[in-house]
Amino acid sequence: MNFTFDAQVTAALFDRTGAIFALGDGSVRFAEGERFAVHDGAVLCAAIHPSGNGIVTGGDDGKVAWTRRDETVVLAEAPGRWIDALDTAATTGLIAFSAGRILSVIDVADPAFRRDFTHERTVSGVAFDPKGRRLATSTYGGVALWLARIAQQKPTLLKWAGSHTGVTFSPDGAFVITAMQDNQLHGWRLKDSKDLRMGGYPSKVRSMAFLSNGQLFATAGAQGAVLWPFTGSNGPMGREATEIGYDESSLVTQVAARSGLGLLAAGLNDGRVWLADPAGQGLNFVRADKGSAITALAMREDGGAIAWADEGGLAGVVEA
């Protein structure tokens, strides 16, 4: 199933029904054909709604919206600011989003609930922990950890010099990892704030994902998909990364996985997309034709389908 859109796809996701694409023209498109004009400007970030039904998007119009196959509604607004990052938590029904230096949390079950947390610098990334109760935000100089529902609090700060551009938790909640502006990752073991230095990339890391029950951490940013080991209490400390799908003529721009599965999908800057089992042999090119760089990639929850999109507006859903 292939699509040609008239704008670049900024996010591809699977909800419990099928694939969803968010576009640079502010629209949300469903693989089944539904189209909604959601934002006045580009969709900057997106995540699946905590209910598993539809997509939550943030735009450069300052709106956070929930779009399902039958309607779209505005959940929150930050007038005059861009919604730079967002995440959702199915376990608690919370949605967190950032606008400039402010992180906001809303509850899908309580329209009156809202918490706003102010940072010294612009927030670039937002991630819930696996229980959906704690939040990590990336910003210049490191990470701030917040309790999602507590109104008045001081965050726990994890400091590391430089600009941090995205953040994620490990599936067991033991580690926080950030992508950085200068072609590297940084991480912290939360029980003692021990630093994890994860470098050696030829380009910026714009995509990362856990797989194999959290034992492997995959990233883009190199000629192959980079895999860091996260077994044991030390994670990747003192250990080397491996690389699969190495091709000196291309770069991996996107990775996608499900933490409970042992499969990894990768999208390349030459338009190709592959699927692999890191414990097995060889790559399955689910899109072998070359073209524009892959800008969005997602794996269905059961690993049975891949959604991809490139910067030229081409997109597809492929049964794996």
What digits encode the pLDDT tens for the residues 180-231?
999 999 999 999 999 998 999 999 999 999 999 999 999 999 999 999 999 9
Q: Tell me how far apart the 2 most distant CA atoms of the chain are, in Å.
A: 53
* Predicted pLDDT of residue 184: 96
Q: How large a percentage of the chain has pLDDT more than 70?
A: 100
- The residue-averaged pLDDT of 104-113 equals 97
Query: What would be the CATH architecture of the domain defined by 204-320?
Result: 7 Propeller (2.130)
Amino acid identity of residue 304, one-letter, is G
Q: Would you place residue 169 in the very low, low, confident or very high pLDDT band (cuts 50, 70, 90)?
A: very high
What Å distances lie between residue 250 and 50, 182, 205, 270, CA to CA? 36, 20, 15, 6
What is the distance between the alpha carbons of residues 204 and 143, in angstroms, rounded to a whole number? 18
Q: First vs last Cα of the chain: how many Å apart?
A: 12
* Predicted pLDDT of residue 235: 87
Query: What are the residue boundaries of the structural domains of the chain, listed by start?
Result: 204-320
Can you say whether residue 282 is alpha, beta or left, with left for phi > 0 and alpha for psi between -120 and 50 degrees?
left
Identify the CA nearest to 235 among candidates 185, 270, 278, 201.
185
Identify the CA nearest to 50 among candidates 13, 88, 87.
88
